[in-house]
Chains A and B, each alone.
Chain A
Amino acid sequence: MAIIGGSGVNRGMVSTDIADAGRHQVAGRLGAAERRFRRLAAGAALVVVLIFIGAFASLLRGAWPALHEFGVPFLWAEKWNPVTGRFGALAPIAGTLITSTLAMLIAVPVGLGIAIFLTEVCPRPLRRPIGIAIELLAAIPSIIYGIWGLFVFAPYFQAHGQQTLIDLFANVPVLQVLFAGPPYGIGMFTASLILSIMILPFISAISRDVFATVPAALKESAYSLGCTKWEVISSVVLPFARIGVVGGAMLALGRALGETMAVTFVIGNAHHLQSSLFAPGTTISATIANEFTEADSALYLSSLVALGLILFAITFIVLAAAQIMLYRLERRAGGRTQ
């Protein structure tokens, strides 16, 4: 029992008793407040997990009638016929995978190029403004890409790009099949191209951050051995940043797979598979966006929800893989990179 304040012995004893009781009271109050706050914060954290579990559970419940009716073959059945009530997910799944793959083929090299430009080539004062401008590409909402793609890009591409490509590849074995048919403007290829612009900033931003973690000593030692700038980039920076770049690319792929509005505008919404990339097609998200409010039977609605469930599952796998890679990278770098 410590004596604080108080000049006389008697007064001191009395006041410590009171102070002690008061202190207990205050400590009790503070402790209760602390427990309340902690529970509140933990509860909020729990909400995040519940949202995730709830989303999976409710999609599963909504998709159940369709999954029960069609079974696993739902995944590869091609027929999508609301009139007869036969639904199969092949065309949307294939469309999603094709457009995303094509978008990645364009966006990964270009995004890496931008990241290299921003970290190694660009004059220092311009790095920030150009970096921000590239990132604004990710800030522009998907619907804006959609309306622009439909009214501006597709007609332009139809008039100036497609026929040229069709003629160019007319006699090349595989490509003549991929780039064939009448130039509609809209279609799988246009959707992929617009997707690639949308995911470009994710790849370039993460790659740039990872490049910045390459130790200067590593680069300097390569320079001191007489490496040219490009040799330093290709044999020191890129190998060092490999995991981060792959993680960033997977994150971008996750975005591309689920991208909805931009694709819905320009893909043409055709439920059959065609060999030409210029032909209209559909993706999972575009199918849901287009048909959900028109779905007139429970089975139709349920089939669309089942598509959503499949999309959620695919993106979950891709994003989880991306996260695991990026976490590993963070542990190595000893801090969060973002």
Chain B
Amino acid sequence: MNKARYRNRKAYGGFFLLLCVAAAAFGLGWLVFILWDLILNGIQGFSAKALTTSTPPPGSSGGLANAILGSVMMSGLAVLVGTPIGILAGTYLAEYGRRGAFAFVVRFVNDILLSAPSIVIGLFVYELTVFQVGHFSAWAGSIALAIIVIPVVVRTTENMLLLVPNTLREAAASLGAPRNLLVRSVTWRAARAGIITGVLFAVARISGETAPLLFTSLNNQFWSTDLNAPIASLPVVIFQFAMSPYEDWHTLAWVGALLVTMTVLALSIIARVFESRRHTS
């Protein structure tokens, strides 16, 4: 074998592998870059006041309390509405319609919705609710977020149920359990950690969603718990404040950005821990 030629080939390959290392460093670099700036800028405006007072008019001081409330309320409602529908639909795909034509259509449409632009969902809910009743509302925002929750939960529920060994199903069926009892007390239980992971991912996904809220829940400068009225939310406040020319609004936008990111990252990491525990057990 020609040693020099082999060395050349190795060097050639080594160069490309080095590029791969550089690619990974590039990706990680951005993550560090973004998180670092977020913490640096977010910490500056962080105070008890930022969490307890409502959004200020330009030029005076205030906080994000009403936006936090709005985000929590709408996300909570969206999860309450979206999770049962998502779990049931995922269950249908995994337990009843594995090979049917209807299941294929549902699966296909769901995977499209999973990646569909969220601004289009916003437009749809605008046409569906705001346009009909004539005003923006927290309900509309929650519906838009629920529509984003459903495909995420469907996808993970189906995946997790498919991982449940068929022998478990057969054991339950041999005891005479009807399908729904089998699903509810055997496969759901076996897949519980995985399904919870899916819900956590869905919550993480909607906590930062802005586009679908812009023309459904709009914004509200004041503390409001009325579901029929426009309501503030962290992402929309961040958008409005960051695009404004006022310095103290910028500061609050950074605080909001830090809050949202920390929530989302914490949820994603908890979900991943859940997931890995399922893998090892």
Contact = CB atoms under 8 A, between A and B. Distances in A.
Interface of A: 30-31, 33-34, 36-38, 40-49, 51-52, 54-55, 58-59, 61-62, 109-114, 116-118, 120-122, 130, 132-134, 136-137, 139-148, 150-152, 197, 200-201, 204, 226, 228-231, 233-234, 251, 254-255, 257-261, 264-265, 285, 288-289, 292-293, 305, 308, 311-312, 315-316, 319-320, 323, 335-336, 338
B27 A134 contact: yes
Contact of B13 (A49, A109, A231): A231
Interface stretch (B50-58, B61-69, B102-110, B165-173): B102-110
A139 to B, nearest CB: 4
Interface in B235-254: 235, 238-239, 242-243, 250, 253-254
B38 A148 contact: yes
Contact of A230 (B13, B95, B207, B257): B13
Of the candidates B34, B86, B115, B269, the one having the most CB atoms from chain A within 10 angstroms of its own CB is B115
A143 B24 CA distance: 24
Contact of A151 (B154, B242, B268): B242
A141 B21 contact: no
B231 to A, nearest CB: 15
Interface in B92-123: 92-93, 95-97, 102-103, 105-106, 108-113, 115-121, 123
A122 B116 contact: no
A55 B37 CA distance: 38
Contacts of A140: 34, 208, 261, 264-265
Contact of A133 (B31, B121, B159): B31
Given A48-B106, A258-B120, A292 B214 contact: yes
Given A144-B34, A146-B239, A251-B115, A285 B211 contact: yes
Contact of A59 (B14, B120, B208): B120
5 contacts: A41-B88, A113-B23, A142-B211, A230-B12, A315-B117
B162 interface: yes
Given A40-B88, A121-B20, A143 B260 contact: yes
B120 A37 contact: no
Contacts of B264: 139-141
A234 B254 CA distance: 44
Interface residues of B, number: 97
B121 to A, nearest CB: 7
Given A48-B154, A110-B26, A113-B20, A308 B120 contact: yes
Interface of B: 1, 6, 9-10, 12-14, 16-17, 19-24, 26-28, 30-31, 34, 37-38, 41, 84-89, 91-93, 95-97, 102-103, 105-106, 108-113, 115-121, 123-124, 126-128, 131, 147, 150-151, 154-155, 159, 162, 178-181, 183-184, 204, 207-211, 214-215, 218, 235, 238-239, 242-243, 250, 253-254, 257, 260-261, 264-265, 268-269, 272
Contacts of A33: 178, 180-181
Contacts of A320: 108, 112
A336 B162 contact: yes
Contacts of B121: 55
A261 B211 contact: yes
A132 B38 CA distance: 19
Given A228-B10, A230-B14, A147 B242 contact: yes
Contact of B89 (A45, A120, A204): A45
Contact of B215 (A34, A111, A292): A292
Contacts of B10: 228
A147 B253 contact: yes
Given A152-B37, A319-B112, A62 B20 contact: no
B112 A323 contact: yes
Contact of A137 (B16, B31, B89, B181): B31
A264 B26 CA distance: 24
Q: Which of B24, B116, B131 has the most CB of A within 10 A?
A: B24
A45 B210 contact: no
Nearest to A53: B109
A49 B105 CA distance: 8
